[in-house]
Amino acid sequence: MSDAYTKLMERVRDLGRFRSIEFLLEWDQETYMPANGMTTRAEAAALVSGLAHERLVADETRDLLAKAEDTADRGDFVIDTNLRETRRTFDRAAKLPTDLVKEIAHTSALAKTAWAKARAQSDFPEFAPLLEKLIQLKKRVAEHIGYDTEPLDVLIDESDPGEKAAEIETLFARLREAIVPLLRKVMESPHQPDGSILTRRFPLDQQKQLSRQVAEALHFDFESGRSDVSVHPFTTTIGDSGDVRITTRYSENNIAEALFGTIHEVGHGLYEQGLPREHRLTPSAEYISLGMHESQSRLWENQIGHSRPFWDYYWDPVRRLFPEALSDVSQDEFYAAINRVTPSLNRVSADELTYNLHIILRFEIERALFTDKLSVNDLPDVWNEKMKQLLGVTPPNDREGCLQDIHWSMGIFGYFQSYALGNLYAAQLLEQVRKDLPDLDARIAANDHRPLLDWLRKHIHRHGRRYRANELIERITGKPVTIEPFMEYVTAKFSQIYRL
Amino acid sequence: MSDAYTKLMERVRDLGRFRSIEFLLEWDQETYMPANGMTTRAEAAALVSGLAHERLVADETRDLLAKAEDTADRGDFVIDTNLRETRRTFDRAAKLPTDLVKEIAHTSALAKTAWAKARAQSDFPEFAPLLEKLIQLKKRVAEHIGYDTEPLDVLIDESDPGEKAAEIETLFARLREAIVPLLRKVMESPHQPDGSILTRRFPLDQQKQLSRQVAEALHFDFESGRSDVSVHPFTTTIGDSGDVRITTRYSENNIAEALFGTIHEVGHGLYEQGLPREHRLTPSAEYISLGMHESQSRLWENQIGHSRPFWDYYWDPVRRLFPEALSDVSQDEFYAAINRVTPSLNRVSADELTYNLHIILRFEIERALFTDKLSVNDLPDVWNEKMKQLLGVTPPNDREGCLQDIHWSMGIFGYFQSYALGNLYAAQLLEQVRKDLPDLDARIAANDHRPLLDWLRKHIHRHGRRYRANELIERITGKPVTIEPFMEYVTAKFSQIYRL
C-alpha cells in the first residue's frame, strides 16, 4: 500500500465524516429541529460544507491524488475504485471556478423563491428568466468540466456516472413507443378498479404498526438504521451503512402513501445497509448511481410490494388492522386498487405504468433546452403538448404543469432520468432473479424476503461503486439495459388486472 | 466598532457553530442514533472538536483578540463581556500544551473503563492508580493556567467562574452545621410520610402527557426547543436559544422521576431559551455558571414543583390521570410523599434536604485530594466516615460508596459544588421574588407561571454572561450568597411536613 494512497484515503475519510455531519444536520432539520433552530442550523451547515469543499480542492489533495495514482498497487479493485472515484470527485470540484459555484448557489436561491411564487400564482414568466440563467450557468459548468458530445452529459454524469444523453433518449423513445399503446388499451378497458377504497379512514397508529412490520419483514436493520416521520420522505446515510435513516409521511385518509412510501425508502435503505462497511467513508462503500439506487427502491416498492404473492401474505394482517375500512373489500379488489392506472398531471402520485412517461417528458425537455432546440419561453407549451401526446391529459395551468417540480429551480438538471432508468434496471434485474430463484413468488407469499435480499446483496450491494450501472447490469443479466423486461412485466401484470 | 473586534466575533461565532454541531452529534447519540452508528459518530465528533480547538488557539485568534482588546469601544457591556470571556476561553485553551490535553483525554478514556469495571466489582484499587494519575494531570493543568491560592480554584473556575475553593468550603461548612441537626430532627419525627405511593403503577402514556402539560404550563417554548427520551436526562442547546432540547427518562413504577426530572430540565431549558438571542453564538448569550444554571433547574423543580401551591393546582389533574394509583391517596399524603426525606447512599436520588450533604462530602474530599491532605488510597475510608457523619448511613461497599459517580473518572473535578451553590442561589433568589411578587403562591396555585418566569428573564436570563454569579446574586438580593434563605426555606417546609 503506497504511503500517498494511505494518506489520501485518510483525507477522503475525513470528507466522509464531514458529509456524515452535513447529512445529520439535514436529517435533524427535516425531522426534529424546532422552527427557531433554522438560522444557526443554516450557518453551521454552510460552515461544514465550506470546510469540506476547501479540503477537497486543496493542493494537498491534488498532490496526494497524483502521487497515489502513480504509486498505488493497481489491480486491487478497492484501490482502483477509490482512486478512480476520488479523481472524478476531485476533478468535478476543482475544475469549477469558485465564482461560478457561488453564482449558481446565489441564483438557485433566488430561483427557488421565484419558483415558489410563480407556482403559487401559476405564473411561469415570473420564473422564466432565472430558469434561463440557471441553464446558462449549468452549461458553463459543463464547459469547465468538459464533455465529448453535449453539455447535458456532464450533468447526467453526476447522477448516473457514464450515462449519455443521446443513448438515454434512444432508450426512452423506445420505451415511450411501447408504453403509450399499452396505456391506451388499459384506459379503454371496461374493467377499471375502484381506487377509492384506498382513501377511506386508516388510523395512524395501525398504519405505523404496519410500516414497522413490513420494514422488519424486508430485513431493514434497526440496529443500523431508523425510521421517522417527515413531510417529504427520504433516505439518508449518516456516514456509513451502520446508520441509515428512512422517513415516511402518514395521512389518515390514504393507506397507500405511507405503506408504499415506506417500502420504497426501505428499498433505498437496504441498498445502503448492504454497502461494504469495511470500506466505510470511501468510494468503495458508495452506491453506484441514482438510477441503481432507484432500481432498489422501485424493485421492492413495485415488483414486490405491488405483487400478488406479497398480498397473498399481507392481505389478512392488513384487513385485520383496518377492519372498518376493508371489511367489504376482497383481496382482488384491493390488489387491483393499488395497481390502478390513472394518467394524471402529477409525477409524484403517478402509477407504475404512467410514471416513466412523466420522466420521459422531462428528459426530452431538458435535452432540448440544453441543445438549444427549445427556448425557456416555449417550455409551457411544449410541456402541455407532450402531456397530451404521452398521457392524454392537459394541465389547466402551469402550476399543475411545468411548475410542479422543484428540481430545476434548484439548478438540478440531468437527474430525472434516474427514476426511469431505475424502473428499467429493476425489471431487468428481477427477470434474472426469477431465473436464479425459481421459487421467488412462493418465498414472497411466505413473507420470506431473505433469498431476494441475499441475491441483491451478493450481486449489487456488496460491490459498492466498483462498477458503473450499465456494466453491472450487463455482468448480471448478460445484456445492457433494455426496455423488454419492463414491458413484459407491465404487459403481463396490467393485461391480467384490466383483462386485456 | 473596531475592525479587529468584528473579525474576532465572526471567529467566535464560527466556534459557536462548531459547538452547535458537537452538541447535535451528542444529542442524537443519546436519543436516536442506531447502535451501529457509533464508530463514524465518534470520529466525526473528534474531527469537529479538533477543528474547533485548532481555530480557537490559532495565532490569528491570538492576534485578533489582542488587537480587539486595544481598539474596541470599552464601556459597552456586550463588547466588554465578549472580550473578557473570549480572553478567558482563549487563555484556558492556549496555555495548555497539546501533549497534556492529549494525555488527559487518553487517561480519562482508560479511567472511564477502569471505573466501570471497578464499580461493577466494587473494587476501588482497580480504579485508584488512574484516579491518582488524573489528579496529577489536573494539577498540571492548574499550574499551566495559573492560580493565586490553590490548584482546585482553576478547576472550579471552569464550572463556576470566579468562585474559590476556600470560600466555598467555609460556606459549605456553615451549611453542613445547619442541615445536620435539622435532618436529625426530621428523622426522629414520628410523622414519616409514605413514599411507596409514588412507586405504584403509572402508565407511560399518561406520564408523557403530564410532562408535556407541565412543560407547556411553565412556558417551555416548543417552537424553540423539544423534549425527548434518553437514559440520562439532560438539557442541551444546539447553537442558540432557538433550539433548546431537554430529555426525560420514564419508568412505569415511578411518577416522581419523570415528572420532577422534566421540571428540572425545563428549568435549565427556560434559562437557555431566555438568553439574549440577538447576541447568539457569542459569550454575551451564554449562561453565567453551572451553579447559576442549577439554580434555575432547582428553583423550578423544588421550590415550585415540590410546593403546596403547585399541587393545589396539579393534584386534581394528576389524580384524574392516574385514578388507579391515586384513588386512595389524599393531596396531603401525596405532597408529603414527594417531599419525604430519606438519608441514602445515593446522590442522584437524594431529596431536597440531604442532597447538599452528598455534595459537601464530595467537595471536601476533592479539596483534600488537591491540597494533598488526602491520598487516593484513603478515599474509600474517608468517604464512608463522612457518609456516617453527615447522613448517618454507611455504604456496604465502594460501588454504592465512592465509586457511584462517573465524574472523577472523566477527569471532572471542581464541578460538584455547582449543585449545592445552585440550591443556595435558588433559595436566595426566591426570597427576593417573594418580595417583588407578593402574590407568587396564588399565581402558582392558578397554574400561572408567567410572573415568575418574567422575573427570572428580567433579572437573570437576559443578562447572559454579563455578570459573575455572586455579583449578580448581590445585585439582585443585596448580599452575596449565603445559607440563610435556604435554611429558612427547608426549616419551614420540613417543620410543617414532619410537625417539628
pLDDT tens-digit profile of A134-177?
999 999 999 999 999 999 999 999 999 999 999 999 999 999 99
Helix (H) or strand (E) holding B74: none
User: What's the full length of chain B, in residues?
Assistant: 500
**Lateral strand order in the sheet of B225-229:** B225-229, B244-248, B235-237
Structure letter (DSSP) for residue B175: H
Q: Among B465, B464, B462, B443, which Cα is nearest to B452's?
A: B443
* Closest-CA distance of chain B to residue A266, Å: 16
Cα B378 to Cα A351, B114, B125, B369, B384: the distances in Å are 75, 18, 11, 10, 10
* Closest-CA distance of chain A to residue B96, Å: 26
Q: Which chain B residues contact residue A224 at CB under 8 A?
A: 34-37
| Contact between chains at B47 and A240 (C-beta distance less than 8 A) | no
* Closest-CA distance of chain B to residue A40, Å: 6
Residues of A near B (Cβ–Cβ under 8 Å) read: 13-14, 16-18, 20-21, 24-25, 28, 32-41, 43-44, 47-48, 51, 221-226, 228, 238-240, 242-243, 280-281
* Closest-CA distance of chain A to residue B276, Å: 14
Q: Which chain A residues contact residue B51 at CB under 8 A?
A: 51
Q: Among A190, A172, A74, A78, which Cα is nearest to A420's?
A: A172
Burial per residue of B357-374, b for 16 or more beta-carbon CB atoms within 10 angstroms, e otherwise: bbbbbbbbbbbbbbeeeb
Contact A445, A312 (CB under 8 A): yes
Nearest to A14 among B24, B47, B221 (CB): B47
Q: Rounded to an integer, what distance in angstroms lies between the CA atom of residue B482 and that of residue B174?
A: 9
The grid cell for B299 is: 428553583
SS3 A318: helix
Nearest to B281 among A35, A40, A221 (CB): A40
Determine the residue among B12, B40, B278 to mutate to test chain A binding: the one whose Cβ has the most chain A Cβ atoms within 10 Å.
B40
Options A163, A265, A352, A366, the catalytic residue: A265
| Contact between chains at A224 and B17 (C-beta distance less than 8 A) | no
pLDDT value, residue B97: 93
Cα A435 to Cα A297, A441, A461, A479, B123: the distances in Å are 21, 12, 19, 15, 62
Nearest to B223 among A35, A221, A240 (CB): A35
SS3 B136: helix
Please say if the pLDDT value at position B394 is more than 70: yes
Q: Rounded to an integer, what distance in angstroms lies between the CA atom of residue B234 and that of residue B214?
A: 17
Contact B197, B324 (CB under 8 A): no
* Closest-CA distance of chain B to residue A223, Å: 5
Query: A19: nearest CA in chain B?
Result: B44
Query: B11: nearest CA in chain A?
Result: A47
Q: Integer distance in angstroms from the first to the last C-alpha of chain A?
A: 61
| Contact between chains at B33 and A243 (C-beta distance less than 8 A) | yes
Q: Among A193, A241, A210, A274, which Cα is nearest to A450's?
A: A274
**Alpha-helical runs (H) found in B254-330:** 255-274, 290-298, 308-321, 323-326
A80-84, A427-431, B97-101, range with the lowest pLDDT: B97-101
Residue in the block written with cell 483534600: B368
pLDDT value, residue A2: 82
Structure letter (DSSP) for residue B375: -
Burial class (CB in 10 A: 0-12, 13-18, 19+), A91: middle
Please say if the pLDDT value at position B1 is more than 80: no
Mean pLDDT computed over every residue of chain A = 97
Work out whether the CA dihedral A358, A360, A364, A369 comes out positive or negative.
Answer: positive
SS3 A369: helix
Phi-psi region of A129 (alpha: psi -120 to 50; beta: other; left: phi over 0): alpha
The answer to whether residue A26 is catalytic is no
The grid cell for B36 is: 451501529
Q: Rounded to an integer, what distance in angstroms lies between the CA atom of residue A200 and that of residue A323?
A: 11
A106-115, A437-446, A482-491, range with the lowest pLDDT: A106-115
Q: Which chain A residues contact residue B48 at CB under 8 A?
A: 21
Residue in the block written with cell 474517608: B382
pLDDT tens-digit series, residues B292-324: 999 999 999 999 999 999 999 999 999 999 999
- Strands A244-248 and B235-237, sheet pairing: unpaired
Number of Cβ within 10 Å of residue B130's Cβ equals 23
pLDDT value, residue A1: 64
pLDDT (average), residues B360-369: 97
pLDDT tens-digit series, residues B110-151: 999 999 999 999 999 999 999 999 999 999 999 999 999 999
* Closest-CA distance of chain B to residue A293, Å: 21
Q: Rounded to an integer, what distance in angstroms lies between the CA atom of residue A142 and that of residue A155?
A: 7
Q: Which chain A residues contact residue B28 at CB under 8 A?
A: 24, 28
* Chains A–B, number of C-beta pairs less than 8 Å apart: 116
Contact B156, B413 (CB under 8 A): no
Q: Among A460, A459, A467, A461, which Cα is nearest to A80's?
A: A467
Q: Which chain B residues contact residue A226 at CB under 8 A?
A: 32, 34
At a CB cut-off of 8 Å and minimum separation 6, what does A87 contact?
Answer: A65, A69
| ipTM over the 0.90 cut-off | yes
What percent of chain B is modeled with pLDDT above 70? Answer: 100
SS3 A467: coil
pLDDT (average), residues A450-464: 98
The amino acid sitting at A106 is H
pLDDT value, residue B443: 98
Contact B163, B136 (CB under 8 A): no
Work out whether the CA dihedral B236, B242, B243, B245 comes out positive or negative.
Answer: positive
Q: Rounded to an integer, what distance in angstroms lies between the CA atom of residue B113 and that of residue B132?
A: 15
SS3 A220: coil
pLDDT tens-digit series, residues B430-456: 999 999 999 999 999 999 999 999 999
Contact B469, B160 (CB under 8 A): yes
SS3 A412: coil
Nearest to B14 among A18, A47, A243 (CB): A47
Determine the residue among B14, B31, B36, B237 to mutate to test chain A binding: the one whose Cβ has the most chain A Cβ atoms within 10 Å.
B36
Backbone angles phi, psi at B275, to 5 degrees: -65, 145
**Lateral strand order in the sheet of A225-229:** A225-229, A244-248, A235-237
Nearest to A242 among B40, B239, B241 (CB): B40
- The model carries a pTM of 0.94
pLDDT value, residue B460: 98
Nearest to A34 among B16, B40, B222 (CB): B222
Residue in the block written with cell 449545592: B420
User: What's the full length of chain A, in residues?
Assistant: 500
| Contact between chains at A44 and B242 (C-beta distance less than 8 A) | no
pLDDT (average), residues A82-92: 97
